[in-house]
């Protein structure tokens, strides 16, 4: 769909008053309904609107108008501007917030501080159009209205778009340093280290005997058999 003139109704008023173009041609050029153009000609529509000359504004040429007047089937098009307008760049600084929304900024700041603590103060300032001192007061709970603040999504409040919020969150995630696994706390032991090693063979030692080896023969050799006379004496004592 081709682009229409900057001020369609004012341009249509001028074309109705200064050309012999048909209503359909004017309606097609100004992106209006033919009945609306007819109402302009009858004085029922656009009353009090001053006509705008599209030739003087560079939106239409005399040759294009004459060609359309001689051929009712010709459809005029907006002339391409020879002057390239510079792109309007957004100036640095806090975002402008309408007066009706400024009372909601502290709630939005509180929401950002709680849900996205990784955002820097400059990013919060760009999103909701606030100052660094206000952010600091809300963070330290020294704001004059801290007791009544409720965290509210700035996108829902209309203070910023979801695209802007996602862009700032992704930017802060890229700037965040990677966490070293050694600094992240204790981790699970690898499977190969979780198996207990098999016990090594070692010599059994008698408790309290130092390095003396346990030998069954030496133990039983100390148990001398009692003679029969000694056994009878023991029996008599009892």
Provide the 8-state DSSP code for 205. Answer: B
Judge whether 123 lies within some domain. Answer: yes
3-state secondary structure of 213: strand
Judge whether 185 lies within some domain. Answer: no
Query: How confident is the model at residue 201, as a pLDDT?
Result: 53
Provide the 8-state DSSP code for 102. Answer: G
Query: How confident is the model at residue 135, as a pLDDT?
Result: 92
Judge whether 213 lies within some domain. Answer: no
Please choose, from the candidates 153, 167, 163, the residue with its C-alpha nearest in 3D space to the C-alpha of residue 112: 153
Q: Is 109 in the same domain as 50?
A: no
- Angle between the N-to-C axes of helices 8-18 and 34-42, in degrees from 0 to 180, rounded to the nearest 10: 60
What H or E segment, with its residue span, contains residue 13? helix 8-18
Judge whether 142 lies within some domain. Answer: yes
CA distance 94 to 97: 9
Point out the domain boundary residue: 132, 159, 175.
175
* Domain enclosing residue 58, as ranges: 8-70
CA distance 38 to 35: 5
Judge whether 182 lies within some domain. Answer: no
Query: How confident is the model at residue 25, as a pLDDT?
Result: 93
pLDDT in tens, the chain (238 residues): 457 788 888 999 999 999 999 999 999 999 899 999 999 988 888 777 888 899 988 888 999 999 999 998 998 988 876 666 565 565 555 566 666 667 888 999 999 999 888 899 999 988 888 889 999 999 999 998 888 999 989 888 888 888 888 888 888 877 665 545 445 455 555 555 555 555 555 554 544 444 455 566 665 666 555 555 555 555 555 4
Judge whether 217 lies within some domain. Answer: no
Judge whether 165 lies within some domain. Answer: yes
Domain count for the chain? 2
List alpha helices for 85-204, DSSP H.
Answer: 105-115, 121-128, 132-139, 154-157, 162-175, 191-194
Token readout for 1 is 């769909």
CA distance 24 to 21: 8
CA distance 108 to 157: 8
Point out the domain boundary residue: 175, 194, 224.
175
Point out the domain boundary residue: 156, 175, 194.
175
Judge whether 55 lies within some domain. Answer: yes
Query: How confident is the model at residue 87, as a pLDDT?
Result: 57
Q: Is 61 in the same domain as 115?
A: no
Q: Is 113 in the same domain as 166?
A: yes
């Amino acid at each position: 769909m081709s682009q229409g003139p900057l001020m369609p109704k004012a341009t249509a008023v001028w074309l109705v008053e200064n050309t012999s173009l048909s209503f359909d041609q004017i309606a097609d050029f100004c992106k209006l309904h033919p009945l609306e153009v007819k109402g302009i000609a009858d004085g029922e529509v656009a009353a009090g609107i001053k006509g705008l000359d599209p030739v003087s504004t560079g939106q239409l040429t005399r040759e294009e108008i004459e060609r359309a007047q001689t051929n009712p089937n010709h459809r005029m098009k907006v002339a391409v501007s020879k002057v390239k307008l510079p792109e309007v760049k957004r100036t640095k600084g806090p975002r402008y917030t309408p007066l009706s929304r400024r009372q909601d900024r502290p709630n939005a700041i509180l929401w950002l501080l709680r849900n996205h603590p990784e955002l820097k103060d400059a990013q919060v300032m760009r999103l909701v159009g606030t100052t660094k001192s206000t952010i600091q007061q809300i963070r330290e709970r020294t704001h004059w209205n801290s007791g009544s603040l409720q965290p509210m999504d700035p996108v829902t409040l209309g203070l910023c778009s979801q695209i802007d919020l996602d862009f700032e969150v992704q930017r802060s995630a890229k700037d965040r340093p990677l966490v070293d696994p050694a600094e992240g706390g204790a981790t699970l032991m690898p499977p190969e280290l979780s198996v207990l090693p098999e016990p090594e063979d070692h010599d059994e030692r008698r408790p309290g005997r130092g390095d003396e080896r346990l030998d069954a023969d030496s133990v039983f050799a100390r148990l001398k058999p009692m003679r029969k006379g000694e056994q009878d004496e023991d029996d008599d004592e009892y």
